[in-house]
Structures are given as C-alpha cells and as structure tokens.
Amino acid sequence: MIRLGLVGYPLEHSLSPLLHTAALKACGLEGDYSLHTVRPGDATGLGALANKVRAGELTGLNVTIPHKRAIIPFLDELSPAARTMGAVNVLCRRGGRVVGDNTDAPAFITALHTILPRPRSAVILGAGGAARAVAYALWATGCEVTVAARRMEQARELAKQFPSVQAMQLGHQALEAIDPDLIVNATPLGMFPDVESRAWPADLPFPRKAVVCDLVYNPLETELLQAARGAGLRVLGGLGMLIEQAALAFQLWTGCNVRRELLTESLRLAIS
C-alpha cells in the first residue's frame, strides 16, 4: 500500500490528489494521497508529519506553500540541490531516514524550455520556496538572475545563497530600471480567489521582448499573463510545471515514470 500526502496551508484547491491518484492508477499501484493542513508556524504539525515518513507510515510527502523552508529542521538529510536552494517540496524515506528533495527546479526548467530554451536574464518576483527553486534552476543554467521581493531582507537572504544572483525591492522604480528577457511570478498574487491581484505593477509596461511566466496555475491564465499576452508577449502558466514536479516526485517514491500526457488528461477531465 503506497501512502502519499501533501502538507501546506491552505489546501482546499490543490490539484495534487487528482494527479497522484491518476498516477497510482496508471502504474497499477494500490494507495492513496491525503491532505494535511498545517498552519504557518505550527512546528509540532510539521515535525509529526516528518516522523510519519521516518516511521514508514507515509511512503512520501509533498510540501507546499508556506512550509518549503520551515520543514527543513525536521529532516535527517537533504539532496545536494535542495541544500543549495534551501527549499524542499518532497520528502522520501531512505534507510529509515527522512530525505528532503526538490522537484520544482527541474520541473520549472522542463516547462520553460518548451517556450524559451536559453534565458539570458531573468527577474523573479517573490523570494519564497518556489522562488528559490526557480533561482537555482536558472542560475545553474548560467542565466543572470535578479530576485525582487516586497521584503528586501528576504530577497537578500535568497541572493546570498547563489553567487551572482542580485536582490532588489519589488516595486515600480526598481523594475523599471531592468530589461530581463524572462519575468517569473513566484508569489501567490493572481491565485484563486484573489484573481485580480498581480505582482508586476499594472502601470509599468513590460520589457519589450520578455517572456512572462506565472507559477500560479489556478486560474490557468492569470491576470498577469492576460496583460502580458495583450502586450504581445509570449506567456507560460504554471500547469506544465505542476504536472512535471508531480511526476518527478511520484517517480522518487515509487520508481514509476508516469506519462505526462496521462496526467494532463486527468486534470483536463477534472477541470472541465
């Protein structure tokens, strides 16, 4: 019996149960995927779930907003990439130890390459767990990365993890001064139900040749992407990354490599 789950807050609109249930079925495995709502700052709740993975009561656990960093003190080991990023989105059990890994970074690059194979300079809006994965993934491919956050100290803390990554204040004045070929929204702005909010200032034109990418996948096309498309730019939503990070996590837990088309189809059916 494969017991999988997700910890985060809030979780009502998560698509992960649907994806992993479809993956279990496709691989002919018996199991389930449970949701564990743990409020921000609830260390006891995070520790208890890490213990369940350590004890083998859970085969694997996904970690989402806002716990991708907060879970780290409860783990026995980190993969080299997760250690460099300082963010974890998947827990596995290896020889009685809980190991933190990160499938967001490779998933982001796979999704991005469908539209922009060689980004040269990028600005990431937000400096939380997903921003760390994106910064790592872009930095590792030689892209010039700037992280823009509403709390400058959070942007600085992220930047110091990677040589050459720059930090800036998220705001009109600083964004106006740069000309990236990739903009990535790694904040929850625009996510259901707050669909009218956006991280890029509404009164600031986009850089003329930028590709605009939003990690938010609900709605499939956010207000930010609609505005960028309206300005004639190429856009990428968060769904491709969501599917890829889930498939990579599922492979870590079960060894089974699920066809991405199958996962996409299961989501389409559920959404329609």
Closer to ligand NAP by Cβ: residue 50 or 137: 137
Cβ neighbour number for residue 205 with a 10 Å cutoff: 9
Closer to ligand NAP by Cβ: residue 130 or 267: 130
Candidates 5, 31, 100, 128: give the one binding ligand NAP (CB under 6 A): 128
Interface with ligand NAP by CB under 6 A: which range of 42-50, 73-81, 135-143, 147-155?
Answer: 147-155
Residue 25: active-site member: no
| Under rule CB under 6 A, residue 228 binds ligand NAP | no
Under DSSP, the state recorded for 236 is E
Closer to ligand NAP by Cβ: residue 95 or 198: 198
| Under rule CB under 6 A, residue 23 binds ligand NAP | no
Distance of closest approach, residue 17 Cβ to ligand NAP, in angstroms: 15
Q: What are phi and psi of 90, to 5 degrees?
A: -150, 135
Interface with ligand NAP by CB under 6 A: which range of 74-82, 90-98, 211-219, 249-257?
Answer: 211-219
DSSP 19-76: HHHHHHHHTT--EEEEEEE--TT-HHHHHHHHHHHHTTSSSEEEE-TT-TTTTGGG-S
DSSP 82-117: HHHHT--SEEEEETTEEEEE--HHHHHHHHHHTT-S
| Under rule CB under 6 A, residue 217 binds ligand NAP | yes
Candidates 241, 248, 249, 263: give the one binding ligand NAP (CB under 6 A): 241
Closer to ligand NAP by Cβ: residue 190 or 208: 190
CA-closest candidate to residue 215, choices 245, 184, 183: 184
Cα dist from 103 to 148, 223, 224, whole Å: 23, 26, 25
Q: What are phi and psi of 140, to 5 degrees?
A: -65, -20
169-208: which residues touch ligand NAP (CB under 6 A)? Answer: 170, 186-189, 191, 199
Residues near ligand NAP (CB under 6 A), total = 28
**Which residues participate in catalysis according to the annotation?**
68
Where do contacts with ligand NAP occur on this chain (CB under 6 A)?
A: 65-66, 68, 104, 126-131, 149-151, 154, 170, 186-189, 191, 199, 215-217, 238, 241-242, 245
